[in-house]
């Protein structure tokens, strides 16, 4: 975006465009528990930028939007932020998407789903110290570690409530696939997996070692929600704080190769300009839950024929 701030005579000939996938102020306000959309018309961009010490970021974004020949954003809801904070209405809303040619089909799809479910079952069994039933329900949330914005807090709270109210008629294993400040796979878990040992000395929630676990918001919220991963509980939570690129040391499978084994994904985002994660889930035939505060959620509600199921 910095090139848009140069005087016209210093720029290369031709036209330029600027696309924003979020706004600096929108993300900041949402993360700080402010009523972003309800109070959107009342926010002064300069005052908010000063309050949160993000003047330079906001200024660069605003200048880039105002000086570009074509200004676009990824969803209608983010377009509202642009109009208020950047003082320019986007020329075009370019909804996000991706080429789904990498999604397996037919027998290959079934093979990869079976393999993923077996891996999820094996890891859960070793971590929790108990056999996982064949009909266990595998749930997941994933994405960037933005505790409030991505609705990680709501996901954990809902699992805690489901565990307390006793309404779960199946065993539920909820995976939190959120990269965090980890330092490699847990050696005790790895030893148990490779040697079929009965001993597990550490956490029954974590698959990887985490720096300062006592300060981690996810682990703290799991405790507050009353989730203990006891054998008597119907709902168990497994926290995977590593990028799933195929060599994390525990799963050794990519995110997509694990996603295909899920029964449901849940993305209760408060701030989500578009939201690739629910879109990816649907591409792999995994039912998903999103919100109408996400760009994709709003698009689905508007464009899916049976909007009650969108």
**Over the stretch 71-103, which tens digit does the pLDDT of each residue have?**
999 999 999 999 999 999 999 999 988 888 999
Distance CA 50, CA 279 (A): 35
Look over the chain and give the mean of its residue pLDDT values, rounded to a whole number.
93
Q: Among 7-16, 21-30, 292-301, which is the least confidently predicted range?
A: 7-16
**Over the stretch 21-73, which tens digit does the pLDDT of each residue have?**
999 999 999 999 999 999 999 999 999 999 999 999 999 999 999 999 999 99
| pTM confidence score | 0.91
For the chain, give every domain's residue range.
2-93, 100-309
**CATH superfamily assigned to domain 100-309:** Glycogen Phosphorylase B; (3.40.50.2000)
Q: Which residues contact 178 (CB under 8 A, 6 or more apart)?
A: 141, 142, 143, 144, 145, 152, 218, 239, 240, 241
**Over the stretch 204-240, which tens digit does the pLDDT of each residue have?**
999 999 999 999 999 999 999 999 999 999 999 999 9
- Adjacent-strand bridge partners of 53: none
Structure confidence at residue 197 (pLDDT): 73
Structure confidence at residue 15 (pLDDT): 84
**Which helix (H) or strand (E) segment is 278 a member of?**
helix 276-283
- Residue 201 in this model has a pLDDT that exceeds 80: no
Q: Which residues contact 202 (CB under 8 A, 6 or more apart)?
A: 186, 188, 189
Structure confidence at residue 4 (pLDDT): 47
């Amino acid at each position: 975006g910095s090139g848009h701030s140069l005087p016209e005579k210093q720029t290369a000939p031709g036209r330029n465009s600027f696309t924003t996938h979020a706004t600096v102020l929108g993300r900041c306000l949402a993360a700080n528990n402010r009523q972003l959309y309800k109070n959107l018309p009342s926010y002064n961009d300069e005052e908010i930028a000063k309050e949160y010490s993000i003047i330079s970021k906001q200024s660069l974004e605003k200048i880039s939007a105002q000086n570009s020949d074509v200004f676009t954003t990824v969803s209608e809801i983010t377009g509202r932020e642009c109009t208020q904070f950047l003082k320019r209405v986007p020329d075009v809303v370019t909804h996000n998407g991706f080429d789904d040619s990498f999604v397996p089909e037919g027998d290959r799809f079934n093979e990869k789903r079976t393999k993923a479910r077996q891996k999820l079952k094996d890891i859960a069994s070793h971590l929790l110290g108990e056999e996982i039933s064949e009909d266990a329900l595998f749930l997941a949330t994933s994405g960037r570690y933005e505790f409030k914005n991505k609705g990680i807090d709501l996901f954990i709270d809902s699992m805690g409530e489901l565990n307390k109210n006793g309404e779960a008629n199946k065993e539920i294993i909820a995976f939190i696939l959120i990269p965090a400040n980890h330092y490699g796979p847990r050696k005790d878990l790895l030893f148990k997996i490779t040697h079929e040992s009965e001993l597990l000395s550490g956490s029954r929630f974590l698959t990887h070692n985490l720096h300062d676990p006592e300060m981690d918001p996810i682990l703290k919220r799991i405790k507050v929600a009353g989730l203990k991963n006891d054998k008597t509980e119907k709902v168990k939570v497994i926290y995977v704080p590593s990028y799933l690129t195929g060599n994390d040391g525990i799963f050794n499978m990519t995110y997509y190769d694990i996603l295909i084994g899920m029964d449901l994904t849940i993305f209760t985002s408060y701030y989500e300009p578009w939201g690739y994660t629910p879109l990816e889930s649907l591409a792999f035939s995994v039912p998903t839950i999103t919100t109408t505060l996400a760009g994709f959620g709003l698009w689905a509600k508007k464009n899916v024929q049976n909007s009650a199921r969108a």
